[in-house]
Each structure stands twice: as C-alpha cells, then as structure tokens.
Structure 1
C-alpha cells in the first residue's frame, strides 16, 4: 500500500488530535490545521469524483496527475469529494479504500498529504469510516473531516461539508440511503452552526487569498447545474467575506465560471473518473471554460498571483487562468 513517509511527527500528531475532536464539528469553531510550506509558492493538485477501483479512466487520470506532479511538486492534494462510488465505504476494513485510493495514486510525486471532503456518494456509506484515523494508519496521506480550515503561508482554505445542505437527499432520497448520524434530527442546527463558523472564520482571516472547497456546485453549466440551497446564505457569505475561489466537484467535468457581481470565481474539478455525461448549458452566464470529460487541476499561489490550469486525461493543458491582486484577471 502507498505510504507518505515525509510527514514529520508533530504535524501528524496535530492531524490525529484534530480527528479526535471533530467527527462532527457543528457546535464548535472550525478546526484549523497549519500546513508548512518549503517553497516560494503554494502549489496544489485538485481532483474529484474519482473512487471507482481504477475504472472509467481513473487509473489514467492518476497516471497523468503523477506525471504533472513530478515537475509541479504540490504541497498537498485536494479531493473535492465522492471519494468512493457508488455507496461510500462499508467500514474501515472495506478493501475499496486501498483498491480505489492507495493502489491507484501510486506515483512518488503523489505521496503527499491528501485533504479530502465528503460527497453525496460518500454519505451513502459509512461516513465515520472515512473520518476515522484508522484509514490514516493504513495510508498516512489520507485526511478527511466534514469541515475544517487549512492554513498556509499564502492562503487559507476552508473545506465545507455541502451535502447536508441539499434538501432532496433528505426528502426524496429514492432508493438510496444516507448516513446522517450526528446530523438528524438536528440538521437545521448543524447547518446554522456551520454557516456561522464559516462566516466567522472568513471574517477573521487575514490571508491574502481565501479559498472555499465544497463538493457541490454553487454555479455550474453541467448536469447538476446550480445548487439552489447554496445560492442563498452560503453564497452571500462567500461574496460578503471576499472569497477569491470556490472549488468543487459533483459535476463530472472541469469548468470555470466567473461571478458578475464580485471577485469570486467558481472552479469545478470533478473529472477524476466517470465523465462524458453530455448534458450542459454553454449559454450559462459567466461561463469562461467548460470541458465535459476527465481531468484535474493545478493551483499555484504566491502573495500576489494565482495561476490555475486544467489538464485532461492525456495530460494536455485544457485551460489556463491567472489573476493578480494588483492586476486584472486574464
């Protein structure tokens, strides 16, 4: 199994302490993790919607991630959720953890910390299994919580549990079952506290760059479209608190949509495996780029500049976007 052998003991101790405190962190402030950097920039790989035992080109995307990462040298990797299809994990001993994660992302360049969040498919399984430090003992790259903050020298990244916002998972789940332990019957309290914590954390942040990561789309030209539950108070908080980037998965594609009334930019990186759904709206207001296929994203941030690049399943550059704190976006 893949192991990341370069994390210092004090850093891992912080991670395990955070695990023990935060299986459900709705009644306390979001836990913060400091991730030290050994570079003049923050470099991140972002992939989502991937865990399919290597099928649907997951292995091919992983190979290209490893190839790009050899030169890019990311500080860590972000998963935007739906880590294990179709129904999450059955428990901490589910072999899918190794078969869809450890045995797929084997490149030396990918042996970095993975900061992950839960998607709706993850909630169909044993949620607490994905949150458990037992998985980190199996592969110490793995880190998953419902909501938390990663602090770096150049940016603060707020990971937000978006699945419980979605009404249909509660009211019209169809044949699917969801693991709502810790969320029901207090869903409204959970969401209210989460929004308060997010708003408070963003307001207190002194970071040059503020990034929010969630599984679900806020705005999308893809099959799922906009998530109406996130267009309300959640989006208002992002705009009011000067968030630069909202990064998500859920739609199995890569895309960029710009806000027309704020500096907020929406980036979807959900092309980790099954894609090519063929349902999209290219007339979507603010749409800058759309690719209905597999791929992943790199993010490079300095004190003054941010550069984002989408790659396809062959490692080809699909799209580049840059913005400066002192210049106009290109």
Structure 2
C-alpha cells in the first residue's frame, strides 16, 4: 500500500511537471499557462468571488444561474476572485469544505471548465498550502490555485496577483485571526519581487487586452472601500502598463467603476454568497456605473476588438452591461 506521504510526493512531482510544461521563458518568475481561445478567436468566462459557504447565503442559487449563463455564452473558464472557503480557509487537503463549498456546488455542465483561483484574506486564515496543493487537482481537475500566475489566452493576458500580503492590518492588527504567512516572509521582499514580476509580465505582454485579477479592491464604494496599499504599490504598475480591467472580490457586492484618471475599469465580483451589507460610500456618479449590494456574478466576452461585460443577480437578471472596443491594426 502506498503511504499518504508517498502519494503527496508523487502528486507534487506530477504538478511540478505540469508547471514545467506550462512555463515559458520570461523575465517574470510567475508560473505561466496557455488557455486557447475559441476557433473564431473569441473568449468568454465568468467571474465569481467570496463564495465558499457550503451552499448557504444563496451560493447554490448563484451557482445555478452561473450554469445557465455559462451554457448560453459557451464559456471557456471561470475566475474566482478569492475567499474561496469561509470562514478560515481549508484545514488541509482532506477538508470536507472542498467538496461542500466547491465540488458539490458548481455541478452544472457549463461549470466543468478550468477554474483559475486566487487567494483571499479568509483563505490565509487556514492552511494556504492546502489550496495550492496538486492533490486538490487530483480530486477535481477544474481546480487551479496559485499565489500569483499568468494565463495567456491569446487575445487577452491575465495576471493573477496575490494581494493579501500587501495589506498592513493583517500583520499589525490581526485581532483574533491567525494568518498562515508561510512562504511570504520576509514580507517586503515578497511584495517587491511580486511587483517586479507583475510589471515585467505586463511590459512583455503582446496581447490585445491586459487584465489583472486580485482579491482586494483598489477602488470601491463598498464596506471595505479602497485598499490604499494596492493604490500605492500596485496601481502605478497597472496604469503604466495600460491595463484594461482590474477584477477583484473582497467587497461582497457587484460593482463597476470606470476610472477618470486612466482607462482602467474596476470590476468587483464578490457576490458569490453572503452579501447585503447595507453600506455604500458616496462615489462620483461619473465613474460609478454599477453598485449592487447583493449576490451575483459577472460575465466577460472578448474578441480582438471588443470587450463586453455583464453583471447578473442571483436570479439571472442582467443588472448592468458595458462594452468597449479597440481598433484592430493590420500588420505592416
């Protein structure tokens, strides 16, 4: 009989081999994955965040509607913006919450596509390595969670950023919460390396559309509001590299802020389960395109020249649509 230790080592080696196949030469140190677009060059995906509550707080209803919309749009993958398992992440790779909050909830055929996941602050309260473990991919092949990584989908490049280590209060004022900082310290080195890697990846990108995904807000009128550390340490990199979309969770709402300072669209999809917090800060109505204090999710459809975004509530109703386009220049 193969021991659990040997199984773990075998799984780890298999995952390392998978990464080796997917990583391409780059000055950035972030793991890199290819995800092919459709035959016509288009791409579509759903975004959901702050969901892992064993089906409670309308998580099941949101998942059901995601299945319907995912089928209609013939989605290519799903993005999770973090806080994947409440309240305190996973206790290990054998935690039943992985089944109760993920495997047994997102059962629709359309949702049996690749899931690209980032960590949220609640995930850091548990065993972080469990969510990163290749063992979970053996249990459910849809699952892919790394601290930070790149997905190259031909017409769009996605940079997934581990935002929790940027936030000071988790280190200076943890209250009763305990965070798993293994792999993070020394913290300032971790952040500096990540900033360099994100900047390098964005500068090297030749994709038509540049999209950055993180758990924490940069701009938000929700209960958490702006994340000042990201505004200081990450936003200048996004602006300098002309990022098109910044997608996040953290605030348990659906939100679209169109920046008047740059071309970045700030898109919050944190309504995967518990929401309706009832508090919203004033925001310039010229920038605020949507604020919905409830459950739901978001869809994104991309072609070489256009991005179409839609937000849905827990009943599948469309709350907001937005589109933008870029001219397609012929090669000289």
* TM-score greater than 0.5 by the shorter chain: yes
Q: What is the 5 A alignment of 1:69-218?
A: 69-184=70-185, 186-218=186-218
Q: State whether structure 2 residue 289 is matched by structure 1 residue 288.
A: yes
Shift of 1:233: 2.6
Kindly provide the CA deviation profile for residues 180-208 of structure 1, in whole angstroms up to 9, marking residues without a partner as x: 00112x10000000000000110011110
The answer on whether the counterparts of 1:246 and 1:266 sit within 8 Å (CA) in structure 2 is yes
Q: Could you tell me the TM-score, scaled by structure 1's length? A: 0.91
Secondary structure of 1:44's counterpart equals strand
Shift of 1:284: 4.2
Separation (CA, whole Å) in 2 of partners of 1:238 and 1:216: 15
Shift of 1:14: 9.3
Q: What is the 5 A alignment of 1:13-28?
A: 17=17
The answer on whether the counterparts of 2:214 and 2:249 sit within 8 Å (CA) in structure 1 is yes
Corresponding residue number in structure 1 for 2:8: none
Separation (CA, whole Å) in 2 of partners of 1:275 and 1:141: 26
Unaligned runs of 5+ in 1: 1-12
Moved more, 281-290 or 120-129: 281-290
The answer on whether the counterparts of 1:78 and 1:115 sit within 8 Å (CA) in structure 2 is yes
Q: State whether structure 2 residue 278 is matched by structure 1 residue 278.
A: yes
Separation (CA, whole Å) in 2 of partners of 1:18 and 1:248: 27
Separation (CA, whole Å) in 1 of partners of 2:28 and 2:159: 15
The answer on whether the counterparts of 1:256 and 1:289 sit within 8 Å (CA) in structure 2 is yes
Cα distance, 1:20–1:284 mapped onto 2, change above 3 Å: farther
Kindly provide the CA deviation profile for residues 217-254 of structure 1, in whole angstroms up to 9, marking residues without a partner as x: 00000000000001113100000001000000000000
The answer on whether the counterparts of 1:18 and 1:31 sit within 8 Å (CA) in structure 2 is no
Q: State whether structure 2 residue 228 is matched by structure 1 residue 228.
A: yes
Corresponding residue number in structure 2 for 1:260: 260
Shift of 1:19: 5.4
Kindly provide the CA deviation profile for residues 65-97 of structure 1, in whole angstroms up to 9, marking residues without a partner as x: 001111111110000000000000000000000
Separation (CA, whole Å) in 2 of partners of 1:189 and 1:129: 23
Moved more, 279-288 or 88-97: 279-288
Secondary structure of 1:289's counterpart equals strand
Unaligned runs of 5+ in 2: 1-12
Separation (CA, whole Å) in 2 of partners of 1:157 and 1:28: 14
Separation (CA, whole Å) in 1 of partners of 2:15 and 2:324: 32
Cα distance, 1:168–1:69 mapped onto 2, change above 3 Å: same
Separation (CA, whole Å) in 1 of partners of 2:301 and 2:227: 27
Separation (CA, whole Å) in 1 of partners of 2:28 and 2:208: 25
Secondary structure of 1:46's counterpart equals strand
The answer on whether the counterparts of 1:77 and 1:115 sit within 8 Å (CA) in structure 2 is yes
The answer on whether the counterparts of 1:147 and 1:158 sit within 8 Å (CA) in structure 2 is yes
The answer on whether the counterparts of 1:19 and 1:132 sit within 8 Å (CA) in structure 2 is no
Corresponding residue number in structure 2 for 1:3: none
Moved more, 36-45 or 234-243: 36-45
Shift of 1:288: 1.4
Secondary structure of 2:234's counterpart equals helix
Q: How many residues align?
A: 310
Separation (CA, whole Å) in 2 of partners of 1:20 and 1:131: 16
Moved more, 147-156 or 281-290: 281-290
Shift of 1:39: 3.8
Q: What is the 5 A alignment of 1:60-71?
A: 60-71=61-72
Separation (CA, whole Å) in 2 of partners of 1:133 and 1:120: 21
Secondary structure of 1:231's counterpart equals helix
